[in-house]
Each structure stands twice: as structure tokens, then as C-alpha cells.
């Protein structure tokens, strides 16, 4: 049975560099599980900072104005895994998008129901209580099974309605990864957050603002790719820049910029928290605390054991 390595964890824990290291050591090929690095042109803000000659599959595969989904990801990733296995190499899946990783190890039947964008467009204009009534009418069983959080979540309600309106029979997905080692990097918040903040400063210095500026010549804020951390927070700033030309407003612009950066910082913290929540509940995961000094040895031991078994 062919083996697979999975590396997950919140942002700023060094997943990619670990993956590169392991790929070199064990003749591996890296597959990204990152819902934002799939976009071309979002480089600095999504942290595509690996060496240029290092191949990472499933990054830069679509444009920022295109939609993407976990089901599409699943399909592409499975293809990649097969291909890498056929070359006799070790696939290393690395990323922070819990849903994408989950789509590989825990697929579900609703993947056979495709999105209906016309329906979504219409439903998007309705209030949450209305969506609730619609779902209750169509499928009261599903509606009643929703927890408090999901029953107030328009995105999730719309998807449920979409499923209940679909006439297709649900067919279960058979392909499911099983012979894998799942390592999840983690760290306490008071260790992780300063690292995040530091990386934010680096990305600003690396020219994030000019990257956004050039993206905006082709794309706009309503495109799915721009609804991304490190990008979406700067909308107020760029709105200001384009509407106000007077130099007298420089101080004000600077103030707006500062508040955008602050917003971004907070959003990154919240994101890291959500990621940790996600990985916490995945069974069979091996957590490695990167704030501990011996974490590299722990990883080496885990991987060596797994590959020799």
C-alpha cells in the first residue's frame, strides 16, 4: 500500500519548509492543500515564499476571478497522488485548509451535487429567516438536524437548499486515503501570534501593496480570489487612494493604511485560532508543538517509523 504524508497546522508554523525538508530527505513530491495559494498572482500575501526551483503541486492553478471548491480540489489532489505514487515517490500533502485535507481523508456523498450558481445568486438576496423557512419547507429533517450556529449561517443554509432541490441521487465516494501519517504543527497563541505579526511586516516590506495594486488592474474586490486575508483588509485603503487625489489628505490616508494593517493582523490571529479548532477534532492526528526545542527530532522519529513500517 502506497504511503502518504500529510502536514497541516495553523498559519506561520513552518509547514512548507518542513515539507521541503522531508521531500528532499525521502524523495517526496509536495502537494499543496491551501485554498488561497491556488490563485495565480496572489503571491506575497499568501506566502508563496518557497524556492523557485521547488515544485509544489496545486498552487497557481486558477485566476482570482474564478471560483474553486473542495470537491474540485479533491479530484485534482487524488490525481496528483496517483501520479506521484506511480513514479515511486512519496506524496506530501501540506496546507492549512482543513476542509481540503478533510475532503481527501473523509469524503462524503454530497460531493456529487454540483453548485447551482443561479440558485445561489437568487438565494443570496434572501434574509436568513427566509432561508430557514425555505429549507424547513423543503427538508424539515435536515433543517431540524442543524445546530444553532449552522441554522443561522446563510452560506450553509443555501447549500442545504441546493442539495434538497437537486434531483440527483447521492452517490458515495469510494476513494479515501488511509495509509497516511498526519502531522499537525501547532504552538500556543502567545508564541504563534508574534510570529504572525513579524511575518506581516515582512510581507509589507516585500511589496504586498504593489502586488494588490497590480491585481486591481485586472480584478476587483468582488472576485473570489480577493476575498483573502492580506488582500481584503486593504480595500478601504485602495478605495481612499482612488477617490482622493489631494496631497493634503496624506495624513488621513496613512491613518487608513495603518488601520487596515491592524485589521489584517487581527484577522490573521482569528484565522489561526479557527485553524487550530479545526485540526483539534481530526482523529489520528499527531500534534507537534513547534515552540518545544525537540520538535524536529519528534517529527523525524514519527516519519522514520511510518515509512519503515
Partner RNA sequence: CCAACGGGAGCCGGACGGUUAGGCAAAGGUCUGUAAAACCUUCGUAAGCAGGUUCAACUCCUGCCCGUUGGA
Q: Which of 278, 285, 295, 299 binds RNA (CB under 7 A)?
A: 278
Which residues in the 159-198 window bind RNA by CB under 7 A?
Answer: 159, 163, 189, 193
CB of 167 to RNA, least distance (A): 15
Strands 180-186 and 286-289: parallel
CB of 280 to RNA, least distance (A): 5
CB of 103 to RNA, least distance (A): 7
Whole-angstrom Cα distance, residue 275 to residue 98? 7
CB of 218 to RNA, least distance (A): 19
* By the rule CB under 7 A, 68 interacts with RNA: yes
* By the rule CB under 7 A, 29 interacts with RNA: no
Which residue stretch of 102-110, 248-256, 285-293, 297-305 sits at the interface with RNA (rule: CB under 7 A)? 102-110
* By the rule CB under 7 A, 274 interacts with RNA: yes
Q: Is residue 146 classed as helix, strand or coil in its secondary structure?
A: coil
Q: Which of 97, 132, 184, 186 binds RNA (CB under 7 A)?
A: 97
Q: Which residues of 63-84 are buried (b: 16+ CB within 10 A; e: fewer)?
A: ebeeebebbbbbebbbebbeeb
Determine contact, residues 302/4, Cβ cutoff 8 Å: no
* By the rule CB under 7 A, 155 interacts with RNA: yes
Q: Which residues of 271-306 are buried (b: 16+ CB within 10 A; e: fewer)?
A: ebeebbebbeebeebeebebeeeebeeebeebbeeb
Whole-angstrom Cα distance, residue 249 to residue 72? 46
Whole-angstrom Cα distance, residue 68 to residue 275? 20
By the criterion CB under 7 A, which residues form the site for RNA?
11, 34-37, 45-47, 67-72, 96-100, 102-103, 106-108, 110-115, 120, 124, 147-150, 152-156, 158-159, 163, 189, 193, 224, 227-230, 266-267, 269-271, 273-278, 280-281
Amino acid at each position: 500500500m502506497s504511503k502518504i504524508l500529510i502536514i497541516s497546522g495553523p498559519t506561520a508554523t513552518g509547514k512548507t519548509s518542513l515539507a521541503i525538508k522531508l521531500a528532499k530527505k525521502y524523495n517526496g513530491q509536495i502537494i499543496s492543500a491551501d485554498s488561497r495559494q491556488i490563485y495565480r498572482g496572489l503571491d506575497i500575501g499568501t506566502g508563496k515564499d518557497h524556492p523557485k526551483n521547488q515544485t509544489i503541486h496545486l498552487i497557481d492553478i486558477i485566476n482570482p476571478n474564478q471560483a474553486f471548491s473542495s470537491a474540485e480540489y479533491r479530484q485534482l489532489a487524488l490525481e496528483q497522488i496517483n501520479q506521484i505514487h506511480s513514479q515511486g515517490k512519496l506524496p506530501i500533502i501540506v496546507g492549512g485548509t482543513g476542509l481540503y485535507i478533510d475532503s481527501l481523508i473523509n469524503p462524503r456523498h454530497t460531493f456529487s451535487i454540483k453548485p447551482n450558481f443561479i440558485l445561489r445568486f437568487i438565494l443570496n438576496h434572501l434574509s436568513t429567516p427566509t432561508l430557514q423557512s425555505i429549507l424547513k419547507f423543503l427538508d424539515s429533517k435536515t433543517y431540524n438536524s442543524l445546530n444553532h450556529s449552522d441554522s443561522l449561517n446563510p452560506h450553509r443554509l443555501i447549500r442545504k437548499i441546493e442539495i434538497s432541490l437537486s434531483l440527483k441521487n447521492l452517490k458515495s465516494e469510494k476513494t479515501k486515503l488511509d495509509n497516511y501519517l498526519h502531522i499537525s504543527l501547532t504552538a500556543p497563541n502567545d508564541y504563534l501570534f508574534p510570529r504572525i505579526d513579524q511575518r506581516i511586516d515582512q510581507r509589507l516590506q516585500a511589496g504586498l501593496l504593489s502586488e494588490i495594486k497590480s491585481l486591481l488592474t485586472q480584478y476587483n474586490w468582488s472576485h473570489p480570489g480577493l476575498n483573502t486575508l492580506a488582500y481584503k483588509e486593504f480595500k478601504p485603503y485602495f478605495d481612499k487612494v482612488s477617490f482622493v487625489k489631494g496631497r493634503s489628505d496624506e495624513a488621513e490616508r496613512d491613518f487608513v493604511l495603518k488601520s487596515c494593517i491592524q485589521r489584517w493582523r487581527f484577522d490573521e490571529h482569528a484565522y489561526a485560532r479557527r485553524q487550530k479548532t479545526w485540526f483539534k477534532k481530526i482523529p489520528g492526528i499527531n500534534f507537534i508543538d513547534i515552540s518545544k526545542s525537540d520538535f524536529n527530532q519528534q517529527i523525524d522519529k514519527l516519519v522514520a517509523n511510518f515509512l519503515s513500517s
